[in-house]
Amino acid sequence: MNTTTDLPDVPLPPGIRSRYVDNINGLRVHVLEAGYETEGRPCVLLLHGFPELAFSWRKVMPALAEAGYHVIAPDQRGYGRTTGWDANYDGDLNSFRLLNLVRDALGLVSAFDYRSVDAVIGHDFGSSVAAWCALVRPDVFRSVALMSAPFAGPPQLAFDTADKPFRPKPEDPVHRELAALPRPRKHYQWYYSTPEANADMHRAPQGVHDFLRAYYHHKSADWKANTPYPLKSWSANELAKLPTYYVMDFSKNMAETVAEEMPSAEAIAANKWLPDSELSFYGGEYARTGFQGGLQWYRCGTSGAFTAELETFSGRQIDVPSCFISGQKDWGTYQRPGVFETMQRSACTRMLGCHLVEGAGHWVQQEQPAQVSRLLLEFMKQARQRAARQAIVT
């Protein structure tokens, strides 16, 4: 179990405070909070991804608070200073499933005495949680902004099978085919699901700080080879076009993969969006907790153990106002072929815009916070206006 005793202060800009909220679905949740000085503000919930923390929202929280919102950003289950989760690989995987992460979010906003929030905003894997929040409880999560990870909708139940012979679901051959390529490869999500992944990163030869420096650099707009485009299919030959942080060389772990792209000392010194002083906070937190809490989320997905409960929502769409924001240099938009298009075509019925932000890779709210803040505020204004018009009509 991770511990939060005698920890250094979180290096936050003015207007954001760090606090804890107890008894949230079995957790003691560490929360960053802005706009808390006055009561009666509408609430916005921010959900981070991997390998990040609530700290990743530090640059957009002041702008949202200045616009009149009460902004809440937790370290999610498995991360940072939130406690009450099992850090063991063989621990309780059930607690990390998507619907329980929605329960975490619902419990947190309820603890702050909100019946609803104006928007739930999620980045990376937090985008998946935000999507499911809006899908399952649209009465609470009145709009949703998805960032860097598009949403394809719930898994579909099979139709028209009653009078047909049973056919077991075929095994996905893509992993075997990736391994059989002339340059053998493997998919990072399945690597993240292995028992070795946490130690590979937590005990990286270069240290956690330099591992994260290379990882963040590799997926940012600073890595000039990030030039994403739609892939044609979920096939080995197409997936092999992805950078190695998504489709890795078969014989290498993630620490070895990103070490090959470690930026120079000059590039690090020139980095304005994540200077070493801020990276040191991430490094210190992950050195303390390890990565397994976040990796359990991937295991829930790759194992298929919780697909059946998600199929309960088969055919359901996100009907609250939605938007998508990603970096123009972010391969995350296209890493699952067809999902970006499916999200706009059918998974979200009231999508108000898709924005690919110039000068940003995967870490869009850290790389281009002013642009992201502007887009989020514009989206929430549009969503409120639409809700007001609908209320008049009804």
Statement to judge: residues 291 and 314 lie in one domain: no
Q: Facing residues of 72 across strands?
A: 33, 45
In this prediction, residue 392 carries a pLDDT of 81
* Among the ranges given (111-115, 161-165, 214-218, 296-300), the one the predictor scored with the smallest mean pLDDT: 161-165
In a domain, 366, yes or no: yes
Instruction: Name the average pLDDT for the chain.
Output: 96
Write out the residue range of the structural domain in which residue 82 sits: 16-157+305-393
| DSSP state letter for 88 | S
Instruction: Report the 10 Å Cβ neighbour count for 223.
Output: 19
Task: Please report whether residue 6 resides in a domain.
Answer: no
Do 70 and 199 sit in the same domain of this protein?
Answer: no
Residues with Cβ < 8 Å from 100, sequence gap 6 or more? Answer: 25, 77, 94
Shared-domain flag, residues 351 and 378: yes
Contact (CB, 8 A) for 355 and 150: no
Region 326-351: what's the mean pLDDT? 98
Q: What is the model's pLDDT at position 1?
A: 47
Q: What is the DSSP letter of 333?
A: G
- The C-alpha atoms of residue 78 and residue 94 are separated, in whole angstroms, by 12
| Domain shared by 100 and 198, yes or no | no
Q: Which tens digit of pLDDT belongs to each residue from 35-44?
A: 999 999 999 9
pLDDT beyond 50 at 28: yes
Specify the amino acid at residue 47. Answer: L
Residue 300 clears pLDDT 80, i.e. is over it: yes
Instruction: List the beta strands (DSSP E) in the chain.
Output: 16-24, 27-34, 43-47, 70-74, 119-123, 144-147, 185-187, 247-249, 322-327, 351-357
Q: How far apart are CA 161 and CA 345, in angstroms?
A: 26
Q: What is the pLDDT of residue 390?
A: 76
363-378: pLDDT as tens digits = 999 999 999 999 999 9
pLDDT confidence of residue 4 = 64
In DSSP notation, 213-274 reads HHHHHHTSTTSTT------S-SSHHHHTTS-TTTEEETT--HHHHHHTTPPPHHHHHH-SSS
Predicted local distance difference test score (pLDDT) of residue 60: 98
**pLDDT value for 160:** 87
Q: How far is Cα 281 from Cα 286, in angstroms, rounded to an integer?
A: 9
Give the chain's domain count.
2
Residue 3 falls inside a structural domain:
no
Q: 178 near 241, Cβ under 8 Å?
A: no
190 and 291 in one domain?
yes
CATH number where 104 lies: 3.40.50.1820
Q: Residue 1: inside a domain, yes or no?
A: no
Mean pLDDT of 290-309: 97
pLDDT, tens only, 241-282? 999 999 999 999 999 999 999 999 999 999 999 999 999 999
Same domain, yes or no, for 24 and 134? yes
201 within domain boundaries: yes
Please, which residues have CB within 8 angstroms of residue 115's CB and are 6 or more apart in sequence? 140
What the block records as the tokens of 126 is 């937090």
Chain segment 72-123, per-residue pLDDT in tens: 999 999 999 999 999 999 988 999 999 999 999 999 999 999 999 999 999 9
Residue 341 lies in a domain: yes
Please give the pLDDT value at position 2: 53
Please check whether residues 311 and 259 belong to one and the same domain: no
Domain limit, last residue, from 276, 295, 314: 295
The whole-number pLDDT of residue 387 equals 81
Angstrom distance (rounded) from CA 46 to CA 54:
8
Q: Is 93 exposed, middle or buried (0-12, 13-18, 19+ CB in 10 A)?
A: middle
> Above 70 in pLDDT, residue 3?
no
